[in-house]
């Protein structure tokens, strides 16, 4: 299950030598709700990286910090650096392929 990301955890992520797949989402975002089970399914299957969900409706500053302008947005952070991003929904196979290629 993906970890919920708050400002303290985001600081840890940006200072860690790990790879994180972050889903920026909001409760009011219908596409985000469609993406939720897909993201969670992939998070349960792929154990080579860490998964987190950033609730933008609670932590707008994290979206601003990562320059997220659309929801849902999936971001790969490795060693504190943003290495890839995707705006919008991805299907399960598409998300797995994207992670394999970019992470």
pTM of the model: 0.96
Whether residue 1 is predicted with pLDDT greater than 90 in this model: the reply is no
Give me the catalytic one of 5, 22, 32, 42.
Answer: 32
User: What integer pLDDT is reported at residue 46 of this predicted model?
Assistant: 96
Q: Please count the structural domains in the chain.
A: 1
> Can you tell me the mean pLDDT for 54-78?
96
What span, in angstroms and rounded, lies between the C-alpha atoms of 87 and 22? 12
Give the domain range for residue 50: 3-102
Kindly report, residue by residue over 17-54, the tens digit of the pLDDT.
999 999 999 999 999 999 999 999 999 999 999 999 99
What's the CATH code of the domain at 48?
A: 3.40.30.10
Whether residue 76 is predicted with pLDDT greater than 90 in this model: the reply is yes
Residue with tokens 């790969």: 76
Give me the catalytic one of 16, 26, 29, 49.
Answer: 29
User: What integer pLDDT is reported at residue 102 of this predicted model?
Assistant: 95
């Amino acid at each position: 299950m993906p970890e919920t990301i708050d400002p303290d955890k985001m600081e840890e992520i940006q200072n860690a030598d790990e790879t994180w797949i972050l889903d920026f989402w909001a409760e009011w975002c219908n596409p985000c709700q469609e993406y939720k089970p897909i993201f969670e399914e992939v998070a349960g299957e792929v154990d080579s990286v860490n998964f987190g969900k950033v609730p933008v409706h609670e932590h707008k500053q994290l979206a601003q910090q990562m320059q997220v302008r659309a929801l849902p947005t999936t971001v790969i952070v490795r060693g504190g650096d943003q290495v890839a991003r995707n705006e919008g929904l991805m299907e399960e196979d598409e998300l797995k392929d994207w992670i394999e290629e970019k992470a």
